[in-house]
Amino acid sequence: MTAALFGPANVSVIAFPGIGLFASVMWPILVSLALNSVSEHHGSFAGILSTGIMGGAVVPLIIGRIGDHLGLRAGVAFLYVTFACVLSVGFWAKPLIANATVSFKKAEVQTAG
């Protein structure tokens, strides 16, 4: 995001769509990671997480207000706050169930002989 905000125009043209692409997958991963971190009351916790959807309605208004007063670059920099919240869940969450379906075993090469 820093490259998109403060980099040259040719970098921003690529970086802004990249931000959207990679940020779009964060919500389902965040919800599944957070729900896998609590042992009970999943419904209540999912309701609390669902209030995060309000951010999709409120954050653009905040960005616009900051952009009106300080400039659009400063307004979009407010997204650092929202990404910090997502990052904190990533650090805070301790999954109760480890996903053992993916394994990285070395392929055994059979020799003819």
Average pLDDT estimate for 83-109: 71
pTM: 0.69
Rounded-to-integer distance, Cα 89 and Cα 91, Å: 5
> What is the total count of domains within the chain?
1
Would 113 be classed as within a structural domain? no
pLDDT score recorded for residue 77: 93
C-alpha distances in Å from residue 109, one per residue of 55, 85, 102, 106, 112: 51, 46, 20, 9, 10
Name residue 98's amino acid.
A
- What domain range is 85 assigned to? 2-92
Q: Please tell me the predicted confidence (pLDDT) of residue 9.
A: 92
Q: Is residue 47 part of a domain?
A: yes
pLDDT, tens digit, for every residue of 40-72?
887 887 887 788 788 888 999 999 999 999 999
Say if 106 falls within a structural domain: no
Q: Angle 13-16-18 (CA atoms, 0-180°, nearest 5)?
A: 105
> Which residue's structure tokens are 């959207």?
20
Q: Is residue 109 part of a domain?
A: no
∠ CA 45-50-56, nearest 5°, is: 150
Examine residue 7 and state whether it is found in any structural domain, yes or no.
yes
